[in-house]
Amino acid sequence: MVSASATPDVVVLGEILVELSSTEPLDAGVALTLNFSGDALNAAAASAAAGAHTALLARVPDDELGDRLLERVVALGIDTSLVMRVKGQHGLYLQHADPSGAREFTYVRRGSAGSGLGPADVPLELVARAGAVLASGIACAISPSSAEAVQAAAAAARCFVYDPNWRPRLIDANGAAAHLRALAPSTRLVTPAWPREAQLVTTANPAGGPREGADEANVGVASRSGTQALGGGEASDRGGAPGIGEARGGGGAREHGGEGRAGATEHGGEEDGGGGAEEGWAGDPVAVCGALRALGVEAVALTRGVDGVLLDDGGEVVEVAAIAAPVVVDQTGAGDSFAGTVTARLALGDQLIDAVRLGVSAASLSVGGLGGTGRVATLEESQAHAARAVEVCG
Ligand SMILES: Nc1ncnc2c1ncn2[C@@H]1O[C@H](COP(=O)(O)OP(=O)(O)OP(=O)(O)O)[C@@H](O)[C@H]1O
Ligand SMILES: [Mg+2]
């Protein structure tokens, strides 16, 4: 049981969703498993499991399903003292969990109670005392008031971590980039997914390219055990960033709806925000990290699925390899697991590189369960998995 009286190590803002998932393509007659998810819950669960006293700041409908939802939140070791019970409808999503990562989502969340989060809900003094605060682009996208809440919390936080989690069905690239740009100066760490969220950097930084010099001299070659050193120096030479319309490639997931009315589903087509810009500086992950720092973020952990994470901590760039997953059931929430774990470890005083290594390990284990919180690794499990990977890799 989590003590609600102490200041939390980590505060996570966002909306908790009802999750209905299937291992078969969604169709009439397909059995669905009920659970609770949403990136804020997934990340908060990972943060709590990583050893941080973690509180969720969210609005939850005041009904029976909301009671079950909060029981699940408590079971995940999360402090619910900042949860507000309100009138209104749940946000939910249906997903077809596909181990290959070709997921299919249908959202029903517009007008949900959770999207009513606003700046007046943010306890600024408590947020300022917390070790770290985590929020995502989804919390910014679901309503203007929720975006204001994130902005207020980021400004007050000692250590703000932002996961862009761009969902084109919720917000277009310009909108997502605007949130990124507004939050960047308050951000200790940003965790974009490569390649699809790289194009937000292009949009947020239309002049093209990382800041003058792009810390060319500082894009260092770091060698640490468990990391692969990367050269740099070419970052600012990548002019001619392509526009959004030119971005291509697959993002893996298909997303449907998201903007439907509460109570209605709306199926969209293939996710059109799919790939990262692959030409010019925006096609270069090191340069993208530099461009993000040019917006004001202190550090960037660019997540690259099975290719692991590129970490740029103030110009020192290292590659942290992914750890092979023992079981792959569903890739949903790997990024959330990573972000939650890293935020927890930062709040608890770990070095960023150590926090990222643990995050990579927790994320690798997280794909072994169905849905966003189907498998939440404990700190001990993540540590042991990381240690085994180091042994295997020599
Ligand atoms: N199949 C996998 N096996 C091992 N590690 C994985 C796997 N998929 C993801 N990871 C780890 O999780 C991290 C985050 O995953 P990814 O880059 O897919 O995030 P994401 O696209 O933000 O995911 P989401 O938003 O759906 O949670 C990766 O950098 C990697 O370290
Ligand atoms: Mg993500």
Non-local CB neighbours of 219 within 8 Å, separated by 6+ positions: 231, 232, 233, 235, 286, 290, 312, 315, 316, 317
pLDDT for res 2: 55
Q: From the centroid of its chain, how far is CA 380?
A: 22
Ligand nearest to the CA of 193: 1
Instruction: Say how far apart CA 309 and CA 165 lie, in whole Å.
Output: 15
CA of 29 to the centre of ligand 2 (A): 30
Looking at per-residue pLDDT, the higher value among 201 and 130 belongs to 130
Q: What is the residue extent of each domain of the chain?
A: 10-208+282-393
Instruction: Say how far apart CA 213 and CA 293 lie, in whole Å.
Output: 12
Residue-wise pLDDT tens digits, 123-159: 999 999 999 999 999 999 999 999 999 999 999 999 9
Q: Hey, is 146 helix, strand or coil?
A: helix
Cβ of residue 230 lying under 6 Å from some atom of ligand 1: no
Instruction: Say how far apart CA 230 and CA 363 lie, in whole Å.
Output: 23
Percentage with pLDDT > 70 across the chain: 76
Cβ of residue 285 lying under 6 Å from some atom of ligand 1: no
Confidence of residue 275 (pLDDT cuts 50, 70, 90): very low
CATH assignment, 10-208+282-393: 3.40.1190.20
CA of 39 to the centre of ligand 2 (A): 8
Cβ of residue 328 lying under 6 Å from some atom of ligand 1: yes
344 within 8 A of 379, measured Cβ to Cβ: no
Residue-wise pLDDT tens digits, 354-367: 999 999 999 999 99
Pick from 194, 367, 376 the residue to mutate for probing ligand 1's pocket: most ligand atoms within 8 Å of its CB.
367
15 within 8 A of 117, measured Cβ to Cβ: yes
Q: Backbone phi, then psi, for 51, in 5-degree steps?
A: 105, 5
CA of 323 to the centre of ligand 1 (A): 10
By C-alpha distance, which of 105, 71, 42, 6 is closest to 369?
Answer: 42
β-sheet bridge partners, residue 193: 303
Cβ of residue 32 lying under 6 Å from some atom of ligand 1: no
CA of 164 to the centre of ligand 2 (A): 7
Reported as type and span, the H/E element at residue 161 is strand 160-163
pLDDT for res 283: 81
- Provide the b/e sequence for 169-181 (b: ≥16 CB within 10 Å): bbbbbebbbbbbb
pTM: 0.84
Nearest-CA residue for atom 19 of ligand 1? 335
